[in-house]
Copies of this chain bind each other. A is one copy, B any other.
Amino acid sequence: MEVTRTLARYVLESQYERIPAATRHHATRTFVNWLGCAIGGSRHATLDIALAALGPMAGPAQASVLGRAERLDILHAALLNGISSHMFDFDDTHLKTVIHPAGPVCSAILALAEYRPVSGAEFLHALVLGVEVECRIGNSVYPEHYDRGWHITGTAGVFGSAAACGRLLGLNEQQMVWALGIAATQASGLREMFGTMCKPFHPGNAAKNGLVAALLAEKDFTSSDRGIEAPRGFAHVLSTKFDPAAITEGLGGSFEIDLNTYKPFACGIVIHPIIDACVQLRNEHRLTGAEVASVHAYVHPLVLELTGKKTPQTGLEGKFSVFHSAAAGLLFGAAGEREYSDAIVRDPRVVALRDKVSATIDPTMHEDQTRVEVKLVDGRMLSQRIENAIGSLARPLSDADLDAKFRGLAEEVLTPTHIDRVLGLAWKVGELPQASAVAHAARDPA
């Protein structure tokens, strides 16, 4: 079975006209969510460091670093935008594989689009295909590959970038096979790096290396024709499980991007049901915090195991505190990057409410469920049960939610008028004559 060649052929033969409208819309949502994350992360110290270290080696000003003023060669732009988009762990998730699909693909093709112009439709099509390739390869080796210690967003992502860039570059079949092979031999990224700057480096590096693979293949740089499936190819060397059918069967009949999800809250997904319940209680009962006597949550065991920090002192620690997160949801009706800043975590109003939050394990709860009870100072009891948290496949964020998330992320970086312009273009990316218009708009003109 020619796995690599079958996949290459599909990527080249796919027709945009046959991509369902709903899937195109999913792709647009993936793009909008990614762009907001990349702009929002663009001022983090990690980006400053990467620019200081590698900027002196960068080539011509071919592509934009989103949310910033710098323009770099497309390889470095892909790297940096991939880093910023994963900076807050707030980007998209393909729940079946825990791949964050957009970072490796969008970071590469948007940089490439600034150098080799493509229409918005071609761009959106490449995005759909890139996500298809990385998620199918992920499906074929998950979970053993991830359990072994590989950061699958890096290892599978490089294929997504190579395929999407290869499609935009107009590779022929043999070149696409080689591009996937050159991607295979660069697959890397260890879970050991979680909690360090190397974690967001992985999708950036995957974006850049996949782009390198496509550019080399375009000039007939050869690789194995069986980079994925050969006995010494990607799947067997990096995983103990390999299901080739997960890659080759039903191509074009369904789209993995339809399964993409977007986090409403800037923290681990395990706390999302609790925040969701708190936000709903706040909005329904117009709570301001002062009327709350106590808060109690019934939660899945993982919640306290992973996020049981009672008295977080920093924004980052706040992300590992279900207590802070619940307080933020009740007080602000949100839990974005702002609500996980050092200042908010230390805010006396937040701390006072946080200290009134408790939680009990309820072994009957599945991971996406919770029940939160709020006792008010007037003695009333409020209660909210969540069956599926907002942002899950069962209760996806609305387009308006994605707008609000984008604005929350971008507001520290761009002016409101600027945000309006970028957001307007991003939602219309599939209709733009040139996809690069979004990248140009998303620069910081300063």
Contact = CB atoms under 8 A, between A and B. Distances in A.
Contact count band on A: 35 or more
Contacts of A188: 185-188
Interface stretch (A25-33, A227-235, A285-293): A227-235
A193 B231 CA distance: 11
Interface string A71-93: 00111000000000000000000
A230 B181 contact: no
Interface string A263-306: 00000000000000000000000000000000000000000000
Contacts of A150: 237
Contacts of A49: 216, 219-221
A219 B52 contact: yes
A144 to B, nearest CB: 12
B73 A237 contact: no
B53 A192 contact: no
A67 interface: no
Interface in A175-199: 181-182, 184-193, 195-198
A418 interface: no
A149 interface: yes
Contact of A181 (B186, B193, B215, B226): B193
A252 interface: no
A115 to B, nearest CB: 8
Interface in A193-219: 193, 195-198, 201-202, 205, 212, 215-216, 218-219
A224 interface: yes
Contacts of A46: 221
A223 B198 contact: yes
A58 interface: yes
Contacts of A60: 56-57
With most chain B CB atoms within 10 A of its CB, the pick from A49, A215, A232, A233 is: A232
A315 to B, nearest CB: 17
Given A192-B230, A193-B223, A227-B190, A54 B185 contact: no
A220 B186 CA distance: 24
A148 interface: yes
B215 A198 contact: no
A59 interface: yes
A52 to B, nearest CB: 5
Contacts of A58: 59, 73
B53 A215 contact: yes
A236 interface: yes
B224 A193 contact: yes
A49 B148 CA distance: 36
A62 interface: yes
A311 interface: no
A50 interface: yes
A119 interface: no
Contacts of A236: 149
Given A58-B59, A197-B222, A227 B181 contact: no
Nearest to A62: B57
Contacts of A201: 182, 185, 221
A289 B54 CA distance: 57
A100 to B, nearest CB: 16
Contacts of A212: 54
A185 to B, nearest CB: 5
A117 to B, nearest CB: 15
Contacts of A196: 181, 222-224
Interface string A299-341: 0000000000000000000000000000000000000000000
Q: Which 9 A-B pairs have the closest CB atoms?
A: A149-B232, A149-B237, A192-B232, A57-B73, A188-B188, A53-B219, A196-B222, A53-B215, A198-B223
